[in-house]
Chains A and B, each alone.
Chain A
């Protein structure tokens, strides 16, 4: 902002608009410089500056008012009727709490969703990496083996019996255990 040395109404009104900030010292150095250059040549703006300064000083030195001597006693009498700090809970308070809870939920929901997403990705990564790591050490069961093991599991689950005392379970276990590795390799 630059104020011309030759004042005219437009420049004066702009300077006067900034005089409050000039008095409050909230302008930049350049703005202060421009205003002071204008003030050096403008009687009207100087008059406004003086009046504004005096008005602000009057406000700042206005005598402080304080409450009457009974203020605290009267206040405590009122507070005594209200119960503990925070007052009794009204339906409105509970509604406000509910609103806050909903707001909190809405704010936290994206964070929770993100967390669940990260957890799902982590679980997926585990599902991919761990079985793969296991497969490198344990040979995959054959199709027949899987079916037999499933039959055994289902039987044990349904009858709740111990496969070692159950002839059906023993038979299914025998099927599930299948031929030895050597014979398996021959069938492949």
Chain B
């Protein structure tokens, strides 16, 4: 809790310095948040190139509007809001993003039956499981198949670790909406990943 408070305090100091034209302070903000923002955007658009461009655009917009940033939300929330809006615009403009996914239920080129789906070792180790490219791909595909409203919530909550309240703030929607979208998103992911998960019934 103290650590979070310190981060918030440091963020505030950086923002105040950046608002006073301190380029080094803005640079520090970028270094602090670029991985988080990029990771989130990458999972939203599922393209390293587009994610890099959109992350740059996020920080350019933050740079241009840092003076209008107020303490009504955290810096983290503010950056996620910019990134989310950019991703939504991007997915609207780019049909490829929404239509690029391959259904998990279909037998794709990479899934011709030769690929081992079952996890051989019974010891459950998520990191080892994700080293399995197949499962990692299926997870990314399942995420990309989610409607963007559900995807934003599950990425922010389960991957980025934002609390419900911050997500509601980013998306400007009620807390109940965040919870129901998270429930729906997890349900869809569970159904799609179930054949690849190692569950002993």
The answer to whether A60 touches B35 (Cβ under 8 A) is no
> Which residues of chain A are near B48, meaning CB under 8 Å?
65, 68
Chain A, 64-95, CB within 8 A of any chain B CB:
64-68, 71-72, 74-76, 78-79, 82, 84-87
The answer to whether B63 touches A51 (Cβ under 8 A) is no
With an 8 A cutoff between CB atoms, is A166 at the interface? no
The answer to whether A67 touches B19 (Cβ under 8 A) is no
Chain B, 128-143, CB within 8 A of any chain A CB:
129-130, 135-136, 139
Bitwise interface map of B from 21 to 49 toward A, beta carbon under 8 Å scored 1, else 0 = 11100110011001100110011000010
Q: Which of A42-50, A136-144, A145-153 contacts B (4 or more CB under 8 A)?
A: A42-50
The answer to whether A67 touches B35 (Cβ under 8 A) is yes
> Which residues of chain A are near B64, meaning CB under 8 Å?
82, 86-87
Bitwise interface map of A from 116 to 159 toward B, beta carbon under 8 Å scored 1, else 0 = 00000000000000000000000000000000000000000000
Tell me, rounded to whole Å, the shortest Cβ–Cβ distance linking B185 to chain A: 9
Q: Given A20-B183, A21-B179, A67-B55, A57–B126 Cβ distance below 8 Å? A: yes
> Which residues of chain A are near B42, meaning CB under 8 Å?
65
The docked-state distance in angstroms from the alpha carbon of A52 to that of B194 is 9
> Which residues of chain A are near B182, meaning CB under 8 Å?
20
> Which residues of chain B are near A21, meaning CB under 8 Å?
179
The answer to whether B126 touches A48 (Cβ under 8 A) is no
> Which residues of chain A are near B129, meaning CB under 8 Å?
58, 61
Tell me, rounded to whole Å, the shortest Cβ–Cβ distance linking A162 to chain B: 60
> Which residues of chain B are near A96, meaning CB under 8 Å?
68
Interface size, chain B (Cβ < 8 Å):
51
Bitwise interface map of B from 1 to 32 toward A, beta carbon under 8 Å scored 1, else 0 = 00000000000000000110111001100110
The answer to whether A86 touches B186 (Cβ under 8 A) is no
**Across the two chains, which residue of chain B brings its CB closest to A74?**
B56
The answer to whether A61 touches B199 (Cβ under 8 A) is no
With an 8 A cutoff between CB atoms, is A2 at the interface? no
- Contact of B139 (CB < 8 Å), options: A58, A68, A75, A76: A58
The answer to whether B159 touches A59 (Cβ under 8 A) is yes
> Which residues of chain A are near B63, meaning CB under 8 Å?
79, 82, 85-87
> Which residues of chain A are near B43, meaning CB under 8 Å?
62, 65
With an 8 A cutoff between CB atoms, is A30 at the interface? no
> Which residues of chain A are near B68, meaning CB under 8 Å?
96
The answer to whether A61 touches B127 (Cβ under 8 A) is yes
The docked-state distance in angstroms from the alpha carbon of A102 to that of B154 is 38
- Contact of A62 (CB < 8 Å), options: B52, B65, B130, B183: B130
Tell me, rounded to whole Å, the shortest Cβ–Cβ distance linking B29 to chain A: 10
**Across the two chains, which residue of chain B brings its CB closest to A89?**
B67
14 contacts between A and B (CB under 8 A): A51-B193, A54-B124, A56-B158, A58-B197, A59-B159, A64-B39, A65-B35, A65-B38, A66-B34, A74-B56, A75-B56, A86-B21, A86-B66, A87-B63
Measuring CB to CB, which residues of chain A are less than 8 angstroms from any residue of chain B?
17, 20-21, 43, 47-48, 50-52, 54-68, 71-72, 74-76, 78-79, 82, 84-87, 96
Apart from the given pairs A55-B186, A66-B39, A87-B64, 18 other A-B contacts in the complex at a CB distance below 8 Å: A17-B183, A20-B182, A48-B190, A51-B190, A51-B193, A52-B186, A58-B197, A59-B159, A62-B43, A62-B139, A65-B38, A65-B42, A67-B34, A71-B56, A72-B27, A78-B60, A85-B26, A86-B63
Measuring CB to CB, which residues of chain B are less than 8 angstroms from any residue of chain A?
18-19, 21-23, 26-27, 30-31, 34-35, 38-39, 42-43, 48, 51-52, 55-56, 59-60, 63-68, 124, 126-127, 129-130, 135-136, 139, 154, 158-159, 179, 182-183, 186, 189-190, 193-194, 197-199, 201
